[in-house]
Structures are given as C-alpha cells and as structure tokens.
Amino acid sequence: DSTSAPNFIRNQVREEVEAGKVDTIVTRFPPEPNGFLHIGHAKSICLNFGLAEQFGGDCHLRFDDTNPSKEEQAYIDAIKEDVSWLGYQWAGGVRFASDYFDQLYEWAQYLVREGKAYVDDLSPDEIREYRGTLTEAGRPSPYRDRSPEENLDLLERMRAGEFAEGEKVLRAKIDMASPNINMRDPILYRIRHARHHQTGDKWKIYPSYDFTHGQSDAIEGVTHSICTLEFEDHRPLYEWFLDNLPVPCKPRQIEFARLNLNYTLTSKRKLKLLVDEGIVDGWDDPRMPTISGMRRRGYTPASIRKFCEMIGVTRADGGLVDIAMLYHAIRADLEDNAPRAMCVLKPLKVVLTNVPEDHDEVFEVPGHPARDDMGTRKLPFTREIWIDRDDFMEEPPKKFFRLAPGKEVRLRNAYVIRCDDVIKNDAGEVTELRCSVDFDTLGKNPEGRKVKGVIHWVSVAQGVPVEVRLYDNLFQVESPDKDKDTDFLEHLSAESLITLQGIAEPSLAGVKPESRFQFERVGYFCADRHACREDHLVFNRTVGLKDTWAK
Ligand code: ATP
Ligand code: MG
Ligand code: MG
C-alpha cells in the first residue's frame, strides 16, 4: 500500500515471530484515566492492538490508575467506549494497575528486606535538591541507611495512615551518583490520603508510576511494553525492578516517537483546560482532537486507523504531522462511502416563472455516483426553489460560471435555468431571483450554447430546515503550544465554528444521529450525535471537499 509508512516495531516483532523467539505476543494500551483520549493515543492504540491483531496475540486495556486525585470513573467509561469504537477488543476484562496494589506492596516489602529500599523523611523539596542535576551528582539522604526492620515498620505505619502527606516516602536504594537521574533512589510510594475510584479508602499510600508500570506488565505477561520516547530514560529503572523482584516474566520496553499534529494540541492537561474554561463544548466538542470529538465531527474508525497507518512508527522525534493528512484520510473514506445529498447553506429564493404552481415533477437520482447498493433518492422539483447565495452574483467577474443576471446555469440533476430578474428590498439586498426553465435540457445540453456551471438547489415546499455547524481548526497557528505553557489560549481561531441555518433535500428528513453525507459541492457532514433530532436536524461539517494533502 503506497500510503502506509514504515513501522519499525512491527518489523521487529515480525522478525521475532518468524525466528521463533516469541510465541504469543502480548501488548497493552495503558491510559491514565485523567482525561479523554486524543489522536495521539489513537496512534498508540492502533500500534498496540494492531500488533496483537496482526500476529495473533493479545492486547490488554489497562488503566494506569496510580494518581487517584486526578482520575475519574467518567474518564474510564469514555476511554473504553473510544477503544471499542475504534474497532478494537481487549483480551480478557478491563484491567487496572490498582488490581495489583497488594502485590506491589509485597514487592516493596521484599525490596526493603533485601536492603534495596528505604523510608525517607526528607521533604519533597529536599529530595529534589539532594537528587542533584545532570552535571552534579546527587547526595545520599541521611535516612538512607535505616535498617530493614525499621524500614518495614515505618512502611507499614505509612500504609496504616499514621503519617501526613509528604512526611515520608519509600525510595529504592540504587545509585545517587548515576548519570541517569531516574536511578538516583527513585520514589516507590507516596503518602496520599485520597479516595481511589477503584480501591476506595483502602490505601493511604500509592505506588509511583515507575514502580507500577513494569511490574504490572510482568504480572500480565506482556511481551512488548510499547511507550513513547520520553520514557527512554526510565528504561534502566524499568529493567532494574524486573531484575530485582521475583516477577513472573520480563517484558521488554520499546519506545517510539509520539504524534504531534499541526494546529492541534495533544496533551490531555491542555485539552482539559479548554473544557474547564468553557472554550469548547466539552471533551467531545467536534473541534477537539479527542477520539470522541472526532467521532462527533464525523470521522470514521476506519479513517483514524488509516491515518495511523499512514504516519507510521519511528524513533525519530520532532516532526509535526500535517493535519491535511488526517483530513485526506477521512475525505477518502467518505468519498467512497458517504451517500450524496443537496443542502443549501445560505438560502436565496428562486421563483421559476414558467413552472406552474401545481407542478409535481420528481427526479430519482443515485444515492452515490459509484455505489448502486446505496439506491436512489427523490428530488421534488417545484416552482420555488432555494439556491445558495454564493452561487449568485449581480456583477460577476469573468470566470464566474454560476448564476448572474441574464446568465444560465444548470440545476444539479435537473434543468438549465436563466436569471431574468433580480428582486431587492429597500436596503438594496437581493431577496429573490426570477428565473425561467429551459425544459429541453434534462440530461442534455441546450441547443446551440454551452452552460458550464452546475449548482445545487432544494425545493422550497419540500426542503427541510437544518442547522449546519461549520467546524475548522481550533488554532490559527501550526504549533499552538510551542512557547509558554498557556500561550496556546492566545492562538485560538475566531472562526473555528460558524453556525448557519440551511435547507436540505427532503430525503434527509428523519436521519439518524451520526449519519454521514456528502452535501454535493459543499463538503462532508455528519448528523450530530447529541443535538440532531427528528424535529431539529443538526449537521457538523467533518471536512471540506478540497484535498490539500501533498505527499
Ligand atoms: P498526555 O500527555 O496527553 O496526558 P499521556 O502519555 O500522559 O498523554 P496516557 O494516558 O499515559 O497519557 O497515555 C496512554 C498511552 O498513550 C501511553 O502509552 C502514551 O505513551 C500514549 N500516548 C500518549 N500521547 C501520545 C502521542 N501524542 N503519540 C503517541 N502515543 C501517545
Ligand atoms: Mg502517561
Ligand atoms: Mg499526561
């Protein structure tokens, strides 16, 4: 496939499988339930679930839920829904790192008994200071040489809730002079008197991400623990835990470059700010790069999977992927699979003066030009029709092939009409056109002249009103968050949402939420999941018709 890019992890796994080095691969997708998933997570989902699918293995869905104060059940539910919607099934039930808290605690005691972990009374600030910097070695904590007995007792009392938050931590005893700061006695447990969404009030201490992640992988028999490049420096620690604990197996960590998309934020924390500040209509606002936002916008699961295939998987970081590639992926899918319809976004009334009031002609036209399986739709042709204001100009430039005074244009799927009269109100605005139909032009050119333009139209008597939401990029600059932390709020586009009241052909009456269409000559649209009702149709623009992606 010319549009699929290299994927070094897939190549590596294929070699291992072919060489018989691995029997059944096990991967996992490990979100922290502190926000909704975004397009960056889709890359990781497609990679992890895709490998399991391709090589007949398993992929687990595991919530990395070690930070109870930022996590919520609502996020867990949304994440499950997004992964399923993308078309993936996790092996076994949903898993939680918190399922392993008892085991992790036993392993912490094990390290203490082995003299490889200690309870430290330094404050968080002191720990940071003692840890040193890239150019300066760390210093040992004065509590580093406590006896295993004392440490076991203190750890147990930390767990029982005897100490205040920040008063003590459990640290691994590794190497305060290591050039890798992650190895300078990393924190294993912190005191947090917080209620956990899975374990309730059972725990007063919570394991750190580093102490949790690799061991959870090992408990689950994960073979390939795939993560983004910022964890490369954590790999020695990941391996240190596996080497120093009686774990059932040794997963391997492999890093890849995260996805960065231009005009887009891919950070849950920043997306959450947009939600909390009311800048967008929730996590699934159709402008959000969240999976649920893209779903509401009209993306298909296939298009997101296709996009992830197109961007490939490498270790080279830094590049910004062009969002035009994402638009290309959805446009290609909808071009082939979305039925056609006509919808006028900015209605201008046209009276066809030589069509009688009681004219009841109906054109039956294809649902899709290349898909007989989509059947046909009926277009009633009446004396009064709507056309789009943008398809008429009173004083047109030379190359304007749509409607103008005295000029002809073809109504899509119907006749050629000529504009005879322009009606205006007192303010001089055009309110109506009077046109005449050439009835000898159905499916053929008019006698002796060429009519180049084709415009869409809808019957006034039978068209249905629709609210149309035109969405565009939320940000007007390519890298909205490249500078300071909250600067991205200054780069919001004022035109990311324009709402219009349009009129659609009657075949759209009663469409189901999430139905997708190409509005001919206009773009691809999707009936809004939440707002679209039978008596109030609401369509979101997914993407325009013009492809700007250059390979
Ligand atoms: P964020 O910075 O948005 O909060 P995160 O990495 O903290 O993202 P997690 O819930 O920990 O969010 O992510 C789950 C998985 O998705 C991780 O394995 C992570 O590496 C991966 N992931 C997150 N963002 C991206 C991205 N932009 N590109 C590729 N993978 C990503
Ligand atoms: Mg994370
Ligand atoms: Mg994060």
Q: Give 263-324 as a 3 state SS string.
A: CCCCCHHHHHHHHHCCCCCCCCCCCCCEHHHHHHHCCCHHHHHHHHHHHCECCCCCCCECHH
Which residue range(s) make up the domain with 71? 8-256
Tell whether 299 and 183 lie within a shared domain: no
**Average pLDDT of the chain to the nearest whole number:** 96
Q: What is the mean pLDDT of residues 398-402?
A: 94
Which ligand has the shortest distance to the CA of 481?
Answer: 1
119 pairs with which residues across the strands? 170
CA distance 23 to 104: 27
For 31, other C-beta atoms within 10 Å of its C-beta total 23
Q: Is the pLDDT of residue 195 over 90?
A: yes
Tell whether 132 and 214 lie within a shared domain: yes
Q: Is 42 annotated as a binding residue?
A: yes
Q: Is 40 annotated as a binding residue?
A: yes
Tell whether 406 and 532 lie within a shared domain: no
Alpha carbon of 542 to ligand 3 centroid (Å): 28
Q: What is the mean pLDDT of residues 326-353?
A: 98
Q: Is the pLDDT of residue 100 over 60?
A: yes
Alpha carbon of 51 to ligand 3 centroid (Å): 24
Tell whether 64 and 199 lie within a shared domain: yes
Q: Which of residues 3 and 451 earns the better pLDDT score? A: 451
Model pLDDT for residues 172-190, shown as the tens digit of each residue? 999 999 999 999 999 999 9
- With the most atoms of ligand 1 within 8 angstroms of its CB, the residue from 32, 41, 262 to mutate is 41
Q: Look up residue 9 and give its amino acid.
A: I
Give the residue among 67, 20, 369 at the shortest CA–CA distance from 205: 67
pLDDT of residue 230: 95
For 123, other C-beta atoms within 10 Å of its C-beta total 13
Alpha carbon of 31 to ligand 1 centroid (Å): 7
Q: What is the mean pLDDT of residues 103-111?
A: 98
Model pLDDT for residues 278-327, shown as the tens digit of each residue? 999 999 999 999 999 999 999 999 999 999 999 999 998 768 999 999 99
Q: Is the pLDDT of residue 548 over 90?
A: no
- Per-residue pLDDT band for 551 (boundaries 50, 70, 90) equals low
Helix (H, G, I), strand (E, B) or coil at 214: helix
Q: Is 482 annotated as a binding residue?
A: no
Alpha carbon of 40 to ligand 2 centroid (Å): 12
Residue at token pair 């009129």: 503
* Tokens describing residue 347: 């209605």
- Per-residue pLDDT band for 366 (boundaries 50, 70, 90) equals very high
In a domain, 3, yes or no: no
Ligand 1: nearest atom to the Cα of 44: 30
Q: Judge whether 258 counts as a catalytic residue.
A: yes
- Per-residue pLDDT band for 486 (boundaries 50, 70, 90) equals low
Q: What is the mean pLDDT of residues 101-107?
A: 98
* Tokens describing residue 325: 């590639």
Model pLDDT for residues 218-235, shown as the tens digit of each residue? 999 999 999 999 999 999
CATH number of the domain that residue 275 is part of: 1.10.1160.10
* Tokens describing residue 459: 């019957």
Q: Judge whether 361 counts as a catalytic residue.
A: no
In a domain, 261, yes or no: no
- What strands, in cross-sheet order, belong to the sheet with 58-63? 26-29, 58-63, 95-96
DSSP 391: G
Q: Is 277 annotated as a binding residue?
A: no
Chain CA centroid to CA 17, Å: 31
Looking at 234, 256, 278, the residue that finishes a domain is: 256
Which ligand has the shortest distance to the CA of 35?
Answer: 1
Alpha carbon of 267 to ligand 3 centroid (Å): 7
Tell whether 275 and 213 lie within a shared domain: no
Which ligand has the shortest distance to the CA of 40?
Answer: 1
Give the residue among 10, 8, 43, 7 at the shortest CA–CA distance from 312: 7
Tell whether 147 and 280 lie within a shared domain: no
In a domain, 139, yes or no: yes
Q: Which of 95, 168, 173, 268 is catalytic?
A: 268
Q: Is the pLDDT of residue 483 over 80?
A: no
CATH number of the domain that residue 398 is part of: 2.40.240.10
* Tokens describing residue 227: 């993560």
- Per-residue pLDDT band for 369 (boundaries 50, 70, 90) equals very high
In a domain, 248, yes or no: yes
pLDDT of residue 484: 65
For 146, other C-beta atoms within 10 Å of its C-beta total 19
Q: Is the pLDDT of residue 542 over 90?
A: yes
Q: What is the mean pLDDT of residues 530-547?
A: 96
Ligand 1: nearest atom to the Cα of 269: 4
Q: Is the pLDDT of residue 113 over 50?
A: yes
Tell whether 443 and 522 lie within a shared domain: no
Q: Which of residues 62 and 5 earns the better pLDDT score? A: 62
Helix (H, G, I), strand (E, B) or coil at 81: helix
Q: Is the pLDDT of residue 99 over 90?
A: yes
Q: Are 419 and 406 in contact (CB under 8 A)?
A: yes
Model pLDDT for residues 430-442, shown as the tens digit of each residue? 999 999 999 999 9
Nearest CA to ligand 1 atom 10: 31
Model pLDDT for residues 438-467, shown as the tens digit of each residue? 999 999 999 899 999 999 999 999 999 999
Q: Is 259 annotated as a binding residue?
A: yes
- Per-residue pLDDT band for 1 (boundaries 50, 70, 90) equals very low
Helix (H, G, I), strand (E, B) or coil at 84: helix
Query: Of all helices (H) and strands (E), which one includes residue 21?
Result: none
Q: Is 258 annotated as a binding residue?
A: yes
Looking at 402, 432, 462, the residue that finishes a domain is: 462
Q: Is the pLDDT of residue 138 over 60?
A: yes
Tell whether 458 and 472 lie within a shared domain: no
Q: Which of 10, 14, 16, 32 is catalytic?
A: 32
For 346, other C-beta atoms within 10 Å of its C-beta total 15
Q: Are 197 and 71 in contact (CB under 8 A)?
A: yes
What ipTM describes this predicted complex?
A: 0.97
In a domain, 548, yes or no: no
Alpha carbon of 39 to ligand 1 centroid (Å): 10
Tell whether 80 and 192 lie within a shared domain: yes
- Per-residue pLDDT band for 36 (boundaries 50, 70, 90) equals very high
pLDDT of residue 81: 98
Tell whether 56 and 144 lie within a shared domain: yes
Tell whether 527 and 474 lie within a shared domain: yes
Residues in contact with ligand 1 by the CB-under-6-Å rule are 30-32, 40-41, 43-44, 227-228, 258-259, 266-269
Q: Judge whether 165 counts as a catalytic residue.
A: no
Q: Which of 258, 346, 371, 412 is catalytic?
A: 258
Query: Of all helices (H) and strands (E), which one includes residue 225?
Result: strand 224-228
CATH number of the domain that residue 235 is part of: 3.40.50.620
In a domain, 514, yes or no: yes
Tell whether 358 and 251 lie within a shared domain: no
Q: Provide the percentage of residues in the chain whose pLDDT is more than 90.
A: 94
CA distance 287 to 297: 7
Residue at token pair 């809004």: 528
Q: Is 38 annotated as a binding residue?
A: yes
In a domain, 1, yes or no: no
Q: What is the mean pLDDT of residues 131-135?
A: 95
Alpha carbon of 164 to ligand 1 centroid (Å): 31
Q: What is the mean pLDDT of residues 189-201?
A: 97
Q: What is the mean pLDDT of residues 395-401?
A: 95
User: Measured between alpha carbons, how far is residue 284 from residues 35, 123, 296 in Å?
Assistant: 11, 40, 7
CA distance 396 to 238: 68
- Rg for the chain, CA atoms, rounded: 31
* Tokens describing residue 106: 């036993």
The number of folded domains in the chain is 3
pLDDT of residue 550: 75
Which distant-in-sequence residues (6+ apart) come within 8 Å of 4 by Cβ?
309, 310, 312
In a domain, 34, yes or no: yes
Q: Are 230 and 259 in contact (CB under 8 A)?
A: no
Q: Are 362 and 378 in contact (CB under 8 A)?
A: yes
pLDDT of residue 481: 82
Residue 363 — φ and ψ, nearest 5°? -95, 135
Ligand 1: nearest atom to the Cα of 268: 3
pLDDT of residue 482: 79
Model pLDDT for residues 256-288, shown as the tens digit of each residue? 999 999 999 999 999 999 999 999 999 999 999
Looking at 198, 222, 256, the residue that finishes a domain is: 256
Which ligand has the shortest distance to the CA of 231?
Answer: 1
Nearest CA to ligand 1 atom 26: 40
